[in-house]
Amino acid sequence: MPQRLLAAATRLFAEQGYEKTSLREIAERLDVTKAALYYHFKTKEEILVSIFEDLSRPIEDLIEWGRRQPHSLETKQEIIRRYSAALMEAAPLFRFMQENQATIRELRIGDMFKTKMLGL
């Protein structure tokens, strides 16, 4: 259920915005009780952090890979190629973050995102 839950939450957050989406609506979209939802996540922020971690994992992998490579033009080109592919996969997350900037700044995900981008 966690992957289904994250997919449903991502869609609702993108459609309605983070602030306007409730845990009840996420549970209804999944056709489960709120208690079933609480078994996996206690808050919307926990759901958002999990979505962020899943969708940003390729960027983390890229950062780690890049640190082990020689500082060459080929490495830089490969980093750009891999980063472009990672952005395509994470498009829903970035669209959500763009549309919910004020909320993101107030949640810990904003600092998490900034740290990842500085690492890159």
DSSP-based three-state secondary structure for 42: coil
As a whole number, mean pLDDT of residues 16-35 equals: 93
Tell me the C-alpha to C-alpha distance, in Å, between residue 24 and each of 34, 36, 110. 6, 11, 24
Encode pLDDT of 42-98 as tens digits: 999 999 889 888 877 888 899 899 999 999 999 999 999 998 988 887 777 777 777
Of all residues in the chain, the percent with pLDDT exceeding 90 is 45
Domain 2-119 adopts which CATH fold?
Answer: Tetracycline Repressor; domain 2 (1.10.357)
Amino acid 111: pLDDT? 81
DSSP-based three-state secondary structure for 77: helix
pTM of the model as a whole: 0.74
Could you tell me which residue, 40 or 14, shows the higher pLDDT? 40
Domain residue extents for the chain: 2-119
